[in-house]
Amino acid sequence: MNALTLGLIAALCWGFHDICVRFLSQKIPLSACIFTVLMTGLFFHLGLMGATNGFAPITTKAFWYSLGAGVFFVIATFGLYHAFARGPVKLVAPLIAAYPILSVALATVGGAIITPVQWAAVAAIVAGVAIVAALSDTSTDEVPAKAPTILFSLIAAVGFAGTFALGQHASDLSGAMPTTLVTRILTVGLTVVILLAFKLPFWPGKRALPLLIAMGIADGIALLCVLKAGSLPDPQYAAVTSSMFGLLTILLAWLLLKERMSLPQWGGCLVAFCGVGYLAL
């Protein structure tokens, strides 16, 4: 399985996750959503490691990379939840989905050679996702001031880029399973500290629990897929294709729920998938 495929699996999982974030954030305290999803992701990962005998020692360097990824994942998670809670989706989704540009830029700093045409393919994916996401939100509801929403969205984008860059380095050094475990433990630990420091609620209520557990499993699969790409050629492209979560979610809604897709949205899909197709060559 190559990096692009792992990224697409992650995109499907995070697409489901982010629809739920938008829905639940209007009814459940964000802090309780975040804590439950992250705890579920941790338990899911522990169960997966037990089932696959994935426990193994990691190097000191990989350990520190994993801790750094955990810090960035906390930043990304809080930024994403707060951005989607404020809305609108047509503003938030394209900004967050721009993180592949940072991921590829960080890869070049690390020595990866990205040709101008490959840069163009990455830009096509980001642009296609932005077009589909922006046109999918037809809500006329009043939204909070845009400046903080933009800030939260950009914080999430930087957080995801940092998570993937450091996490993939750790995975390349000591394997995805043990390094992702370190990342998840630190993420949950920091989240608990933040919630206690600001006296925020942990419990989301019984009614929301099943959906939050499903979100946590999806998040667990998605993060593992992107970080696992660290040991594969061109791991940065897992981050690139994972950014298509919004686009794939809208396509699934069209396919399964018979929601309408406009011609410009189909054009955005075509642009994005052309970019993926070129990177797959």
Average pLDDT over residues 73-79: 92
Is pLDDT above 90 for 58?
yes
Q: Could you give the dihedral angle defined by the CA atoms of residues 236, 240, 241 and 242, in that order, rounded to the nearest 10 degrees?
A: 90
The token duo for 184 is 């998840």
pLDDT band at 227 (very low <50, low <70, confident <90, very high): very high
Q: Which residue has the tokens 């914080």?
A: 155
Lowest-confidence pick of 48-62, 69-83, 174-188, 240-254: 240-254
For 158-177, what is each residue's pLDDT tens digit? 999 999 999 999 999 999 99
pTM of the model: 0.88
Average pLDDT over residues 218-222: 94
Angle ∠(12,214,50) on CA atoms, nearest 5: 95
The domain limits of the chain are 9-112+140-235
pLDDT for res 32:
92
CA nearest neighbour of 22 among 215, 207, 270, 159: 215
Q: Which residue has the tokens 């995070």?
A: 14
pLDDT band at 257 (very low <50, low <70, confident <90, very high): low
The DSSP secondary-structure symbol of 205 reads: -
Average pLDDT over residues 99-103: 89
pLDDT for res 22:
65
pLDDT for res 137:
66
Pick the residue with more confidence: 15 or 200?
200
CA nearest neighbour of 131 among 97, 158, 100: 97
The token duo for 119 is 């840069």
Average pLDDT over residues 203-220: 92
